[in-house]
Amino acid sequence: MTVKEILIELEKMGNPGTKKILMKHGAKEPFFGVKVQDLKKIVKKVKKNNELALELFDTGNSDAMYLAGLIADENKMTKTQLRKWAKNAYWYMISEYSVAWVTSESKHGWDLALEWIDKKDERLASAGWATLSSIVGTYSDDDLDLKAISKLLDRVKKEIHDSQNRVRYTMNGFVIAVGSYITELNPKASKIAEAIGKVEVSMGETSCKVPLAKDYIQKIVDKGRLGKKRKMARC
């Protein structure tokens, strides 16, 4: 399928209700409001196709940008391309999910995540923390720098309540990820989750809430899922 053909297909799949909800979360025109399950129907047709993914992302259409993240070939994405994606991801569903997922699965994930979390740009910083969470949730502990991750937990404890809105959200998510996926660091993540307590994040006109990290981690432990990694970041 070509980009033109996919955009026609996306328009047909557009759902007014979904579009209304996504606009409340931050999506802007032009886009059609396609449900993720419908986007995955296109994924089955085109499979991984990096060139097509790059073209779709460049359309600026939110549906196409999200789809681009689902079909991008993480082994072919360069640092330059990933930086461009992060810069042009204008709202969090793209920056904290599509971009973060692909980046975490690429060989550049760790380096770019550390680069982005130091940025003053809210979207870049939140993308960086989201990327770190995906790395923690998918990589074997043997392949992770646990000392560096432990220091990042200390940083979150110190900075989270004074950070920008979406950065607070993804920092909280990072604590949850570490406490849920890394058994060795679960005690420390749990203590820090208790210390930071409730994290205030403006969710706009939505009814979404910020999960309480301490309770979320404990639920993972209670369900016997501590340390169980995901097969891949994208879903």
Does any domain span residue 84? Answer: no
Does any domain span residue 78? Answer: no
Q: Give how many domains the chain has, as a whole number.
A: 2
Which pLDDT score, from 0 to 100, does residue 177 have? 98
Does any domain span residue 85? Answer: no
Q: Are residues 179 and 109 in the same domain?
A: yes
Does any domain span residue 99? Answer: yes
Q: Are residues 192 and 154 in the same domain?
A: yes
User: Which bin fits 197, alpha (ψ -120 to 50), beta or left (φ > 0)?
Assistant: left
Which pLDDT score, from 0 to 100, does residue 204 have? 85
Nearest to 194 by CA among 179, 177, 209: 179
Does any domain span residue 140? Answer: yes
Which uninterrupted H or E stretch holds 159?
helix 146-159
Which pLDDT score, from 0 to 100, does residue 207 have? 86
Which pLDDT score, from 0 to 100, does residue 89 have? 98
Give mean pLDDT in consecutive 10-residue pieces for the chain, a chain of 235 residues: 98 97 94 98 97 98 98 98 98 97 98 98 98 98 98 98 98 98 98 97 90 98 98 94
**Residue 25, domain extent:** 1-73
> For the whole model, what pTM was predicted?
0.96
Distance of alpha carbon 74 from alpha carbon 65, whole angstroms: 15
Q: Are residues 40 and 111 in the same domain?
A: no
Which pLDDT score, from 0 to 100, does residue 125 have? 98
Q: Are residues 101 and 42 in the same domain?
A: no
